[in-house]
Structure 1
Amino acid sequence: MKKAIYKTNINCGGCIATVTPFMEQAKSVEDWSVDTDSKNKLLTVSGANLDKKEVENLVKSAGFEIKEKKGLFSF
């Protein structure tokens, strides 16, 4: 199972409701969640054949910013 973490501006339940239909379209995502309490509003996605570009494009299509976490402390 592959996993990726992104910094986003998805910051409330309404935002999650907005992005949900887009994430449900993601063929490569099996599970996803957003930590709206974290400073960076972390979106965590996982899937056996996770396609990071698909995730990034869907979140942007929903109207949100997204940036992949590359290292332990950087985005």
Structure 2
Amino acid sequence: METLNFKTTIKCGGCVATVTPFLNDIEQLDGWNVDTNSPDKILTVQTTDNRIGDVVKKAVEKAGFKAEPIPRP
């Protein structure tokens, strides 16, 4: 299982509700969460395929938000 993190513009529960169907449509995601209390509004996704970063980014953008991958240390 891989964990990918993204800095986003998802700010509130309503924003999370808007992005939910787009993220739920990604078959390779085993789960996801947005920390709206974090200053960077971190989206964390769990996946078995760490190559889906672009797919996640595009799904968030389709919902009207921005997502930038946070590089792993």
Matches within 5 A, 1:1-75: 1-50=1-50, 51-72=52-73
Moved more, 49-58 or 36-45: 49-58
- CA drift of 1:71 comes to 4.4
Alignment-mate amino acid for residue 59 of structure 2: L
- Structure 1: runs of 5 or more not aligned: none
Name the SS of the counterpart of 2:11 in structure 1: coil
Q: What per-residue deviation string (whole Å, max 9, x for no partner) do you get for residues 12-47 of structure 1?
A: 000000000001101111110000000000000011
Identity %: 39
CA RMSD of superposed structures (Å): 1.1
* Alpha-carbon distance in structure 2 between the residues aligned to 1:52 and 1:28: 11
- Structure 2: runs of 5 or more not aligned: none
- CA drift of 1:67 comes to 0.5
Number of residue pairs matched by the alignment = 72
